[in-house]
Amino acid sequence: MIAIDMQTGKRLEGIGEYYFSQKLREIDELKKAGKDIINLGIGSPDLPPHPEVIRVLNSESAKSNVHGYQGYKGIAPFRNAIAQWYNKWYGVELNPETEILPLIGSKEGIMHVCMTYLDKGDEVLVPNPGYPTYRSAVKLAGGKCVDYKLREKNNYEPDFDKLEKSRLKKVKLMFVNYPHMPTGQLPTFRLFEKLVAFGNAHDILIVHDNPYSFILNEHPMSLLSVDGAKDCVVELNSLSKSHNMAGWRIGMLCGGKERIDDVLRFKSNMDSGMFLPVQMAATKALSFERDWHDGVNSVYKKRQERVFELLRLLKCKFSKDQAGLFVWAKVPSNYEDGYTLSDDVLYHNNVFITPGGIFGEAGRKYVRVSLCAPVEKFDEAVSRIKNPKSKI
Ligand SMILES: Cc1ncc(COP(=O)(O)O)c(C=O)c1O
**What is the pLDDT tens value at each position of the chain, 392 positions in all?**
788 989 888 888 878 776 777 888 888 898 898 899 999 998 999 999 999 999 999 999 999 999 999 999 999 999 999 999 999 999 999 999 999 999 999 999 999 999 999 999 999 999 999 999 999 999 999 999 999 999 999 999 999 999 999 999 999 999 999 999 999 999 999 999 999 999 999 999 999 999 999 999 999 999 999 999 999 999 999 999 999 999 999 999 999 999 999 999 999 999 999 999 999 999 999 999 999 999 999 999 999 999 999 999 999 999 999 999 999 999 999 999 999 999 999 999 999 999 999 999 999 999 999 999 999 999 999 999 998 764 44
Instruction: Give the whole-angstrom CA distance, residue 261 versus residue 99.
Output: 9
- Atom 14 of ligand 1, residue of closest alpha carbon: 43
Report the pLDDT value the prediction gives residue 392, as an integer from 0 to 100. 46
Q: Give the other-Cβ count within 10 Å of 302's Cβ.
A: 12
Tell whether ligand 1 has an atom less than 6 A from the beta carbon of residue 178.
Answer: no
Peptide bond into 374 cis (omega under 30): no
CB 371 within 8 A of CB 327: yes
Report the pLDDT value the prediction gives residue 389, as an integer from 0 to 100. 65
Tell whether ligand 1 has an atom less than 6 A from the beta carbon of residue 131.
Answer: yes
375 Cα: distance to centroid of ligand 1 (angstroms): 23
Nearest-atom index, ligand 1, CA of 131: 1
126 Cα: distance to centroid of ligand 1 (angstroms): 15
Helix (H, G, I), strand (E, B) or coil at 233: strand
> Ligand 1 pocket test: which of 104, 209, 235, 325 has the largest number of ligand atoms within 8 Å of its C-beta?
209
Which of the 8 DSSP states describes residue 332? P
149 Cα: distance to centroid of ligand 1 (angstroms): 20
Report the pLDDT value the prediction gives residue 202, as an integer from 0 to 100. 98
Tell whether ligand 1 has an atom less than 6 A from the beta carbon of residue 180.
Answer: no
> Ligand 1 pocket test: which of 101, 238, 242, 358 has the largest number of ligand atoms within 8 Å of its C-beta?
238
Which of the 8 DSSP states describes residue 226? S
245 Cα: distance to centroid of ligand 1 (angstroms): 12
Tell whether ligand 1 has an atom less than 6 A from the beta carbon of residue 210.
Answer: no
131 Cα: distance to centroid of ligand 1 (angstroms): 8
201 Cα: distance to centroid of ligand 1 (angstroms): 28
237 Cα: distance to centroid of ligand 1 (angstroms): 9
Nearest by Cα to 248 from 349, 134, 108: 108
> Ligand 1 pocket test: which of 131, 208, 358, 359 has the largest number of ligand atoms within 8 Å of its C-beta?
131
Nearest by Cα to 42 from 22, 56, 17, 60: 22
1 Cα: distance to centroid of ligand 1 (angstroms): 41
0.85 surpassed by pTM = yes
Nearest-atom index, ligand 1, CA of 237: 10
CB 212 within 8 A of CB 325: yes
Where does residue 77 rank: exposed (0-12), middle (13-18), buried (19+ CB within 10 A)?
Answer: middle
Report the pLDDT value the prediction gives residue 290, as an integer from 0 to 100. 96
- Atom 7 of ligand 1, residue of closest alpha carbon: 106
106 Cα: distance to centroid of ligand 1 (angstroms): 6
> In angstroms, what is the C-alpha Rg of the chain?
21
- The helix (run of H) or strand (run of E) holding residue 354 is strand 354-355
389 Cα: distance to centroid of ligand 1 (angstroms): 35
Tell whether ligand 1 has an atom less than 6 A from the beta carbon of residue 191.
Answer: no
